[in-house]
Amino acid sequence: MPFVRLAERRYARHASRQLLDLFWLEQREHPELNGRSLYQAVVARRLGPEAARAPEVIRRAEESFTDWPVERELRFRHVVHYQIF
């Protein structure tokens, strides 16, 4: 079981880093994007051939993290958390 936890932690770290790198890349290439549109571009780039699913991923992240326990604005960390877990 410790190996599984270590592998999960490694995956989460790698995926988080990958998403952060993509975030910076999208920000540099498209400085006009921000908030939800930027997050969607990052997710689309990560999904590659399945980029059309990006709006759905963002919507689900928003549903999962912005309504409970208090209503709040969607943040990139919510998108990362949804993508990884």
Could you please report the per-residue DSSP string of 37-66?
HHHHHHHHHHHGGGGGGHHHHHHHHHHHHS
Q: Indicate if the pLDDT at residue 71 is higher than 90.
A: no
Round to whole Å and give the CA distance between 80 and 61. Answer: 9
> In this predicted model, what pLDDT tens digit does every residue of 19-37 receive, in sequence order?
999 999 999 999 999 999 9
User: Which pLDDT value is given to residue 33?
Assistant: 98
User: Which pLDDT value is given to residue 5?
Assistant: 87
Using alpha carbons, select from 1, 12, 84 the residue that is nearest to residue 43: 84
The total number of structural domains in the chain stands at 1
User: Which pLDDT value is given to residue 67?
Assistant: 80
State the DSSP code for 68: S
Domain that holds residue 21: 2-84
User: Which pLDDT value is given to residue 75?
Assistant: 95
pTM over cut 0.95: no
